[in-house]
Structure 1
Amino acid sequence: MTVDTKIDDGGLAHVTLCRGEAGNAIGLETARGLLDAALTCAAADVRAVLLTGEGRSFCVGGDLREFAALSGDALEQHLLAVTGALHDALRTFASIDAPMVAAVQGAVAGAGIGLAAAADVTLAADDASFTAAYTAIGYSPDGGVSWFLPRLIGPKRALELLLTNRRIPAAEAAAIGLVSRVVAPGQLATEAAHTAEMLRRGPTAAFGATRRLVASGLTDDLGPHLDREGGALAAAAVSDEGREGVAAFLGKRASDFTCVPPLT
């Protein structure tokens, strides 16, 4: 097993890359494991997802040993299968309402950057470092890296990292917007679990609407986007989540979003 998925009774999905001895490199089995994890989360209507990687490194990118064992058409078809599964996993995670928290440590390279960037909240240990790595071996990006990086850090910075493969430390990654924040030594697992649990208790449908609005806002014109915002807000206001949130606020009590059905 290269990817382990566990969903607790409260609806928090723990998705773990389990190839710590190989830096959690992504080959075909791991890519398919991530897709299975995403489909499991979608089918289970989870409330939040926590993505982690075992061992010293979060994910060093593609499994080059696996790729080097092939050549020609066999290699091309293999890589299409790997990226196909990986990209379907990213699409599926993006399509669900549940927000994702990623906890990253050690080396984060290639598609590992894509996984880290795909999360809504990305916490980095202070020992984490980020390297695009693709062009260093004559490859071009996958894992959504060429889509996420320009949106998170701007096209000029993205191209510098993609073309030069400069390694950046966690502090710089936070400063330029690649990760949400850097976590104190030894606190990554605790802080990531706390953040994921906080999101699990939140209004899942409102989180989903918010994720979609932020994503579409990067390409929408202002006018259509304002219409989209208005429609989403109106739908949220009449939902059970919206009614619970307002009632809790007016009643000066804590909201309990876990006891209301999701917005449909």
Structure 2
Amino acid sequence: MRESRPEVAGARAPPSARARSARGLARSLPAINLHITGTAMVATEAEFDIAKDKLKTLTKDPGNEVKLKIYALFKQATQGPCSSPKPSMLDFVNKAKWEAWNSLGKATTEEARQMYVDLIEELVSADAPPQRKATATKDGTSSFQTLDVTTENNITTITLNRPDRKNAISILMYNEIMQALEQAAKDDSTLTVMTGNGDYYCSGNDLSNFTNIAPENMEQLAKDSAARLRKYVSCYIDFPKPLIGVINGPAIGVAVTVLGLFDVVYATDKANFQTPFSQLGQSPEGCSSYTFPKIMGTTKANEILLFNKKFTAAQACELGLVTEVFPDATFQKEVWNKLHAYAKLPKNSLIYSKQLIRGVDKETLHVVNAQECDRLEERWLSVDCINAIMSFFEKRSKL
């Protein structure tokens, strides 16, 4: 969720230790700043958000000096140069933090953001066991922990890569999908394909996103989650190239609702679909409250969105949500034969054609997205939603 202010651990450490940490930061940061300025690297906001989430995955304490660096870079990246008054000499903790922040001088928010991202990447790389290391795109432009992203034969493929969790969407995965879509929109590929690794396409939201949250933080969690979801769905609404879903297995929740924003959806006959919103005390998202009735008719959409109907790939094809269904044994071969043929079409022709098709509804889709996220923010704080999620975890624990 939203990044909390990184605190300096070890509040009872001697003042001299804190002073040494602050001085060490002041000596080391200018060198980093010169490196960033010289290479003109600027991290995007999406990359900054990903770095914030990666920070939470660290299993080893990086030490007070590094924590001071993280704190200072975070403050500079989000608020700009230090402008607060210097704490008193006896306020050792806040004085060390102030000195660390102030030592960054007039470094821009963009430079601080890049330094923050670089520092977190370095810490994560040193901390992560071999099986947790990120996979990289073939052109080496970015790396991901929850996705496998490749570009080949004019096709960028984004593969959801948490098979052990049925590709459930964690906070980190949300941010990485947004980053991958942002990159795919700008690369030289003609098509973008989204699929899943393993037996599932995607099991929807990782509900552990909503666990272990202190009651006093629930309101902020709901607000941040709604903002993230709105940004996430907007990536699909605004995506300029043909976006094709290759649904390799069951799909649940938001993985289903955003399919109405894809241009073509192919599915194996082993796939099935469900949007269990009311079952979890929630409401539709992904613009499905608009796209589903438009695609499949109001009464069919109501059965799915209101009453949690689970439907097969063949039924999804009949309803218009899925373009074509293939036997599982030949699914990958048949689909990729089609995709390779599509990828040879003129890129700009496809982009301009999509603009004409999507342009009529684009403004409406953004309005619907905002309304759905506002409603979900309210739902996540409601008693029936909280009770439903608790009941879900209780049932799962008994299995």
Same fold (TM over 0.5): yes
Q: Distance in 1 between matches of 2:245 and 2:216?
A: 35
The 1:80–1:200 alpha-carbon spacing in structure 2 relative to 1, beyond 3 Å, is farther
Mapped partners of 2:200, 2:309: distance in 1: 18
Q: Which amino acid aligns with 2:187?
A: A
CA distance in 2, matches of 1:81, 1:5: 26
Structure 1 position 215, deviation (Å): 2.4
CA distance in 1, matches of 2:221, 2:345: 40
Q: Is residue 146 of structure 2 the alignment partner of residue 7 of structure 1?
A: no
How many pairs were matched up? 219
Q: Give the equivalent residue in structure 2 for 1:64.
A: 207
- Find the residue that maps to 1:7 and give its secondary structure: strand
> TM-score, normalising length from structure 1?
0.74
> Helix, strand or coil: the match of 1:164?
coil
- Which residue of the other structure, out of 235, 238, 246, is the alignment partner of 1:92? 235
Question: Is 87-96 or 35-44 further displaced after alignment?
Answer: 87-96
Residue pair 1:104, 1:116 contacting (<8 A) in 2 also: no
Report the TM-score when normalising by structure 2.
0.51
Aligned-pair distance for 1:45?
4.0
Checking the alignment, whether the CA contact within 8 Å between 1:31 and 1:83 is kept in structure 2 is: no
Q: How does 1:114-133 map to 2 (within 5 A)?
A: 114-133=257-276
The one of 176, 179, 182 equivalent to 2:325 is 182
Q: Tell me what 2:5 maps to.
A: none
Inter-CA distance 70–186: structure 2 relative to 1 (3 Å threshold): farther
Pick aligned residue for 1:161 from 297, 304, 311 = 304
SS in structure 2 of the partner of residue 158 of structure 1: helix
Q: Deviations over 1:40-63 (max 9, x none)?
A: 112214310111011111111111
* Unaligned ranges ≥5, structure 1: 221-264
Q: Distance in 2 between matches of 1:68 and 1:143?
A: 22
- Residue 113 of structure 1 aligns with which residue? 256
Question: CA offset at residue 155 of structure 1?
Answer: 2.5
Residue aligning to 2:178 = 35
Equivalent residue number for residue 51 of structure 1: 194
Spell out, residue by residue over 1:9-47, the C-alpha distance to the aligned partner (whole angstroms, 9 max, x if none): x43101010111111111211100110111111221431
Report 1:220-235 matches (<5 A): none
Structure 1 residues 101 and 135, CA gap change in structure 2 (3 angstroms): same
Mark the structure with the bigger radius of gyration. 2
Alignment partners' CA distance in 1, 2:163 and 2:238: 28
User: Any idea what SS the aligned residue of 1:175 has?
Assistant: helix
Against the structure 1 CA distance between its residues 88 and 45, is the aligned structure 2 distance closer, same or farther, given a 3 Å change threshold?
farther
Deviates more, 1:196-205 or 1:160-169: 196-205
How far residue 150 of structure 1 moved from its aligned partner, in angstroms, is 2.0
Q: Flag the 1:149–1:23 CA change in 2: closer, same or farther, 3 A.
A: same
Tell whether the 8 Å contact from 1:97 to 1:205 is kept in structure 2 after alignment: no
Secondary structure in structure 2 of the residue aligned to 1:187: helix
Report the secondary structure of 2:328's partner residue. Answer: coil
In the other structure, the counterpart of 1:255 is none
Name the SS for the 1:122 alignment partner. strand
- Deviation of 1:116 after TM superposition, in Å, equals 2.9
Q: Which structure's relative contact order is higher, taking Cα pairs within 8 Å and 6+ residues apart? A: 1
Are the aligned partners of 1:35 and 1:86 in contact in 2 as well (CA < 8 Å)?
Answer: no
Do structure 1's residue 197 and structure 2's residue 336 form an aligned pair?
no
- Identity score, percent: 24
Decide which moves more: 68-77 or 57-66: 68-77
SS in 2 for 1:186: helix
Q: Return closer, same or farther for 1:43/1:80 CA change in 2, 3 Å cut-off.
A: farther
Greater Cα shift, 15-24 or 84-93: 84-93
Q: Is the 8 A contact 2:237 2:362 kept in 1?
A: no
**Cα distance, 1:89 vs. partner?**
4.0
SS, match of residue 113 in structure 1: helix
1:79 Cα deviation (Å)? 4.7
1:95, distance to aligned residue in structure 2 (A): 3.0
Contact 2:259 2:265 in 1 (8 A): yes
Name the CA distance, whole Å, in 2 between partners of 1:86 and 1:188.
31
Q: Secondary structure at the match of 2:306?
A: helix
- Return 172-181 or 77-86, whichever deviates more: 77-86
User: Which has the higher mean CA deviation after the structures are superposed, 173-182 or 199-208?
Assistant: 199-208
**Would you say the 8 A contact 1:25–1:61 is kept in 2?**
yes
**Residue 236 of structure 1 aligns with which residue?**
none
SS of the aligned residue for 1:123 comes to strand
Kindly provide the CA deviation profile for residues 100-120 of structure 1, in whole angstroms up to 9, marking residues without a partner as x: 111113321110102433221
1:13 & 1:151 partners in 2: Cα distance? 29
Q: CA separation in 2, counterparts of 1:192 and 1:83? A: 34
Q: Structure 1, residues 52-100: CA drift from partner, whole Å, max 9, x if none? A: 0111111111111221332546344445444544543443344344211
Partners of 1:70 and 1:213 in 2: how far apart? 44
After superposition, the Cα gap between the structure-2 partners of 1:76 and 1:58, relative to the gap in structure 1 and judged at 3 Å, is: farther
